[in-house]
Structure 1
């Protein structure tokens, strides 16, 4: 396969001249331009991103760091990122970090070597050592489904605290008073504690008794965590009538525990999920959930990164997109209506 060096040698010009012909042909004399084009045709040379970016220092390649690519949430977010990248003519390198710091560092170094133009970092908090790594790389970065209040990094997400509040308020408006929550990890400041704090704020606002020791269990957003957390809740609080789970997977795990225990959803216990991933409408009963605009978060994150790359920067440092409750079949009000 011919390389840019082969083309330069055959045309009798420098590599930088080849790059100018590819990126800014008007800046090259007609004679040189024609020689380069003949050499490209003769060698059947297909310029890669690095060759085309030698002059402008752009490879039209973006990096995406995702903590769990097997999660339905990230699959939907990545679709939005990919569509935006295609719109702007970018290629994407995706890396599954598995929430492992060393794996993330290795991925970022590899992306730097491949001369990516910038990257999107998803869901995890930006710890001080992460920020130091970002600075060392010297690459534009945008946060998706996470944010940093300490550092001036553009971000796109929902207001998770308000989402937790709205979830509890929805169950209260449906007539429930004995409500519990299956929360994300209490050490997760992005979606764990923030959603729990919003949930508890709604309980206080409505002057409802709330014993966190009996009414809150924690999990890592996965199906098995939801099953185990629901089992613990039911063991210590069997009189509850509604549960808000901080992810759809945990909500479905909770429903399966109740099914195996002979408890009917939503007739005896209502379950409200969070995210509105594809599986929410595949279950029986179909899951009522607090919907995040997952696709839009991914799409907007890449658009924001493009604004940074263009030099304009985002109009808003921290962008919050709207969430909404999607009513299906797993929440019932005291009058017997399905919400």
Structure 2
């Protein structure tokens, strides 16, 4: 049978209130008393009741994180940063897989409300009005991660997708490529799809390279299969491309696999640059040149901002995180 806080107090010969203050890091006891209580907790194997502590502190020391997709390697890197900061803050994480489904998202928000979580990190998807309204009624802070909103006053952590895509296209141009294609996500995706397309298009125009829609294949998402199928379509439309910008690393690796099946050598016949710098980018053959998002750092920053909101009445500033090109072996200079 598990012991209670009363058992700890009796064993240490102190009051229940003293044990409670020590467990909750409050003041009002000596170091000698603290040692007696901590020794009693260890000897008895006492585990503080999180629900009971929550009733006292009005905190459950738990945050909710909503992801539209759990199979992506990108999620692993973001979650790694979130968990690091959350663990350091003495809290834990509940991860919810929404599948970008409105009904499922609302069910998860209701579940998180029942669990009385302290705050929410909402990732990689548009923040719809019904989500915002419900979270506001929950009266908990929220931080957006790898997404943003202009409609609601919610702080966010993300990379400037338009600028990062511009940087990728500019990198290919600086390598001497002029016949450049793009494997794009969903153009109706205002978070990642359209900004990355706009950045690619602007880079071509700014460097006096005529833009043609035939040089872009729009996909439903950013997956490996989108990259595989997309490259075949792209090369059918423009057979003499020398370089391709894929709007995600998964798409880029799908394109590399498709090129292999078509007998096209990367980078000798076709240079490919990705976007994200996932941990698997260094494992492809050839290793993938890509635009790096500091994903783990972004997750950690979002969690730290959330705890800052919890610990203070002040607002926090949104963060645009830096991106950079990580050059590996999938892009070479175009001669002539």
TM-score, normalising length: structure 2: 0.89
Q: Secondary structure at the match of 2:52?
A: helix
Between Structure 1 and Structure 2, how many residues are aligned?
331
Question: Could you report, residue by residue, the CA deviation over 1:269-311 in whole angstroms, capped at 9, with x for unpaired residues?
Answer: 1100000101111011111000100000000000000110011
* Alpha-carbon offset, residue 262 of structure 1: 1.1
Map 1:18-29 → 2, pairs under 5 A = 22-23=23-24, 26=27
Aligned 8 A contact 1:245 1:271 in 2: yes
* Alpha-carbon offset, residue 213 of structure 1: 3.4
Query: CA 1:307/1:255 → structure 2, altered by over 3 Å: closer, same or farther?
Result: same
Separation of aligned partners in 2, 1:229 and 1:220? 11
Q: Secondary structure at the match of 1:239?
A: coil
Aligned 8 A contact 1:219 1:226 in 2: no
Q: Which residue of 1 aligns with 2:185?
A: 184
* Alpha-carbon offset, residue 48 of structure 1: 2.4
| Structure 2 runs not aligned, ≥5 long | none
1:333 corresponds to 2:298: no
Separation of aligned partners in 2, 1:161 and 1:244? 13
Q: Secondary structure at the match of 1:207?
A: coil
| Structure 1 runs not aligned, ≥5 long | none
Q: Secondary structure at the match of 1:55?
A: helix
Aligned 8 A contact 1:76 1:294 in 2: yes
Q: Which residue of 2 aligns with 1:252?
A: 253
Q: Which residue of 1 aligns with 2:270?
A: 269
Q: Comparing 43-52 with 121-130, which one deviates more in the overlay? A: 43-52
Q: Which residue of 1 aligns with 2:168?
A: 167
Separation of aligned partners in 1, 2:283 and 2:42? 53
Question: Could you report, residue by residue, the CA deviation over 1:32-69 in whole angstroms, capped at 9, with x for unpaired residues?
Answer: x9xx9999899864212221222220111111111212
4+ runs of 1 displaced by more than 2 Å? 1-8, 14-28, 36-45, 213-219, 312-315
Q: Which residue of 2 aligns with 1:48?
A: 49
Separation of aligned partners in 2, 1:332 and 1:109? 51
1:95 corresponds to 2:96: yes
How well do the aligned residues superpose, as a CA RMSD in angstroms? 2.9
Q: Secondary structure at the match of 2:190?
A: coil
Q: Which residue of 2 aligns with 1:124?
A: 125
Aligned 8 A contact 1:224 1:253 in 2: yes
Q: Comparing 195-204 with 132-141, which one deviates more in the overlay? A: 132-141
Q: Secondary structure at the match of 2:56?
A: coil
1:62 corresponds to 2:60: no
Q: Which residue of 2 aligns with 1:145?
A: 146
Query: CA 1:40/1:167 → structure 2, altered by over 3 Å: closer, same or farther?
Result: closer
Query: CA 1:216/1:209 → structure 2, altered by over 3 Å: closer, same or farther?
Result: farther
* Alpha-carbon offset, residue 216 of structure 1: 3.4
Question: Could you report, residue by residue, the CA deviation over 1:158-217 in whole angstroms, capped at 9, with x for unpaired residues?
Answer: 000101111111111111111111111111111110010111111111121111134333
TM-score, normalising length: structure 1: 0.88
Query: CA 1:334/1:91 → structure 2, altered by over 3 Å: closer, same or farther?
Result: same
Aligned 8 A contact 2:309 2:316 in 1: no
Separation of aligned partners in 2, 1:289 and 1:247? 9
Q: Secondary structure at the match of 1:216?
A: strand
* Alpha-carbon offset, residue 227 of structure 1: 0.6
